Structure 1
Amino acid sequence: MDILLAVKAIIMGLVEGFTEFLPISSTGHLILAGSLLDFTGEKVKVFAIAIQAGAMLAVIWEFRERIARLLTGLFSDRKQQKFALNVLIGFLPAVVLALMFSKAITAELFKPVPVAMAFIIGAFIILYAERRHKNMPATARIETVDDMTMLDALKVGCAQSFALIPGTSRSGATIIGGMLFGLSRKAATEFSFFLAIPTLLGATAYSVFKQRELLSAADIPMFGLGGLAAFASAFLCVRWLLRYISTHDFTIFAWYRIVFGVIVLVTAHYGLVNWTE
């Protein structure tokens, strides 16, 4: 594999891993990085989705003990059965809506102004959620993911569906949605991690299968390097985020989203980035 291509794949993987689990939209950052690196095209779109699997492996590794308890107790432990059912319920809304509207969303919303609006509107929702959480702490009635009901899981799953809109951020939609629906910041963040496993692995499998004619054995090293870089950076990010939320809120990410929204508009206006990629 060409060294320059390898470097680009690694950079894209690092961007994916560092942004996937933060409420700042990994898709937007991958589009910007790909444009700056001149790393674009249909195959790159598949690559950007496929390397999410590397980021997911970092979550699986970080929560390996919890996942092991879940798997071993799936047929005997009611607590684990309830949690697995909640993850499944939370996973379904985005799948159904993606199958119904993904083509229309890609055609109509993958444009500079909608992407920028998603960044900025999402920022104000984060600011509102954090202010509400600070002023009315009693609204956080669910301290752990084990306290969630099926209705709670469905609500968070519906919130995740908003991530189909480019620039929204899957993790941002699930975490902030969870907080608005009564989850503590910690519970919302952890459920977002677990909900990401079937969501992103499913998206990876579907995208690779659907676009399999674009791919060949020669692409394996590029995808492997990108996935490995995504795993490493996501591992660091997940560890950091779990420590961060114990003493901080998400306000800083809201202001970052506003700045990034402005970047989208400016780069699109001057033709520096093709945000329809």
Structure 2
Amino acid sequence: MADSPSIRVLDPSRCHLGEGPSYDPATDTAWWVDILENRLFELPLRAGAGPAKVHALPFMASDVAAIDAERHLLSAEDGLYLRTIRDGRLSLFCPLEAGDAGTRSNDGRVHPSGALWISTMARDAEPGRGAIYHVAGTRVTRLFSGLTIPNGIAFSPDGATGYFVDTDEGVLRRVALDPATGLPVAEPETHYDYSGGEGGIDGAAVDAEGLIWTARFGGACLDAYSPAGERVRSVPVPVRQPTCPTFAGRGLDHLLVTAAYEGMDAAERAADPEHGRTLLVALGTRGLLEPAFRLDA
């Protein structure tokens, strides 16, 4: 079940808590953030384009989502922000838990309908303070609460199934959705129970065949789960704490994978030479491009 495809370090920068990667096929550019250091990274994937350009942010951001050629959406500690790519200008689009200074945004993914699923969690990972929201335009609907570290948000190719996990619990869940809106039409069910395993399920992305690719934080690998709920493939990666994948490259046949050194002491970092570095993994599997967020959804 395990294999070793070609993997390269995309950029030498180390992220304290890398997250929220995004890929722009029009410019062949990768974007990702370092939540804890208030940084946004920009790097064309063409050979010799590095190192990444680093943009300082005035807040903690956890996810980058496409809007159009001029703008993208940043999920931040107090809301969702529009960012103009040309000059980096930021404007608040929609508040999210803005009145709770003890929480921040975490994992996010755009549904095929153009609505965003975005999670929040306590800054100190206090149990039960996490939630997952559905954002359509500026309409915010809380879907699930009582979570600790909400992650693994992803959608089936037809938009009829959503996936998510509470990394602290370790159970990957699926929920039936209205494909036209991305809103649940049933209660979540267990898709795969990984509780008690090495590391924890973190971010996720779905490929063209419907396999759910997840980063295993603390487990130094990526895992693929079938729509039927079986783990069908594992890919070791040279970082102990991978955090979130997204499909990238002209053929959408690579996974752009962020990583983190959060919580690692000096000895653990020394034992993990590539800690916190962003990877490009040549899977040989075609993925799906994350849809753009619709401002008028």
* Coarse TM-score class (shorter-chain normalised): under 0.3
Higher RCO (CA-CA < 8 Å; seq separation 6+): 1
TM-score normalised over the length of structure 1: 0.27
Q: Bigger radius of gyration, 1 or 2? A: 1
TM-score normalised over the length of structure 2: 0.26
